[in-house]
């Protein structure tokens, strides 16, 4: 796995579909050159968090560091867009290493799928009927039945995204935890989720999958009509995000916990 380069000479640029992102990429390529992603010391992603996740996923096996420049809407995973002194910024950047979740889902028709998620794996009801789920942690049954709109397992990197909007906890990077967060719980009413060690394996069994169909998404990759879902952290894969020293991902997660 590659770490933050001391002074990158080969910088590849990728952009989202937004016109302003493409315009920025053209300018930066004229200024710093055109390099193929596979030959780069670092990849600069011009867009929003969606592009950052897409780029990290594409380079999950080779571990090429990604430095994001915000040309999107939210940009929690991105740095401020500036055109000057880009190699020096990258050389001074702080690296955050994250590991994805590996999700194995079984459909009611018997098909099995595997996807990886950087932010979260979420199960959601497909119709007006609430989902009925059974939850196991490391093969031990922890909830015989939960009736809800859905439930998710979030990484620290993803804890400030969908997880936070569902009132889940914010997790600092390196804390060694995963967030198990329910979405609109009907029963049991007082259950608000759990914090799990990062090596835990979570299994969801869908009760009444024909009457109450459930879909599962690993970030944006969706599988519908599932009967069982297993989730665990994949320590064999590592991804490196680069951040300006004064706006590291650790600092952003900490600041989010004190947001007014």
DSSP state of 37: G
Residue among 3, 207, 199 at smallest CA distance from 102: 199
Handedness of CA 140, 141, 143, 147 (dihedral sign): positive
Residues 6+ apart with CB under 8 A from 29: 13
For residue 213, count other CB atoms closer than 10 A to its CB: 18
* Euclidean distance between CA atoms 103 and 232, whole angstroms: 7
| Tokens read off for 8 | 């990158």
Check whether 122 is labelled as a binding-site residue: no
Catalytic annotation, pick one of 36, 49, 62, 210: 49
Question: Would you call 85 a catalytic residue per the annotation?
Answer: no
Check whether 119 is labelled as a binding-site residue: yes
| Tokens read off for 160 | 């400030």
* Euclidean distance between CA atoms 236 and 232, whole angstroms: 12
Evaluate the omega torsion of the peptide bond into residue 188 and state whether it is cis, within 30 degrees of 0: yes
Check whether 161 is labelled as a binding-site residue: yes
| Tokens read off for 217 | 């998404």
Beta pairing class for 66-70 and 239-243: parallel
Check whether 165 is labelled as a binding-site residue: yes
Check whether 160 is labelled as a binding-site residue: yes
Per the listing, tokens 């329910």 go with 182
Check whether 145 is labelled as a binding-site residue: no
* Euclidean distance between CA atoms 54 and 219, whole angstroms: 10
Q: Which residues are annotated as a binding site for NAD(+)?
A: 49-50, 119-120, 149, 157, 160-165, 221
Which amino acids are annotated catalytic?
49
């Amino acid at each position: 796995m590659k770490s933050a380069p001391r002074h990158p000479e080969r910088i590849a640029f990728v952009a989202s579909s937004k016109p302003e992102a493409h315009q920025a990429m053209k300018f930066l390529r004229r200024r710093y050159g055109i390099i193929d992603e596979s030959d780069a010391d670092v990849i600069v992603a011009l867009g929003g968090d969606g592009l950052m996740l897409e780029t990290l996923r594409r380079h999950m096996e080779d571990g090429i560091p990604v430095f994001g420049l915000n040309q999107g809407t939210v940009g929690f995973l991105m740095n401020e867009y500036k055109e000057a002194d880009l190699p020096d910024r990258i050389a001074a950047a702080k690296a955050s290493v994250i590991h994805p979740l590996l999700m194995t889902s079984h459909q009611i028709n018997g098909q099995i799928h595997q996807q990886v998620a950087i932010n979260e794996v979420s199960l959601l009801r497909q119709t007006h009927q609430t989902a009925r789920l059974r939850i196991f942690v490391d093969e031990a049954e922890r909830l015989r039945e939960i009736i809800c709109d859905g439930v998710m397992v979030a990484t620290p990197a993803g804890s400030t995204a969908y997880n936070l909007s569902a009132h889940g906890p914010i997790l600092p990077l390196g804390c060694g935890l995963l967030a198990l967060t329910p979405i609109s719980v009907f029963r049991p009413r007082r259950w608000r989720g759990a914090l799990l060690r990062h090596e835990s394996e979570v299994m969801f069994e869908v009760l009444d999958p024909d009457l109450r169909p459930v879909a599962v998404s690993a970030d944006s990759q969706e599988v519908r009509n599932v009967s069982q879902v297993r989730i665990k952290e994949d320590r064999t894969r590592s991804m490196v995000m680069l951040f300006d020293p004064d706006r590291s991902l650790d600092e952003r997660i900490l600041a989010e916990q004190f947001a007014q």
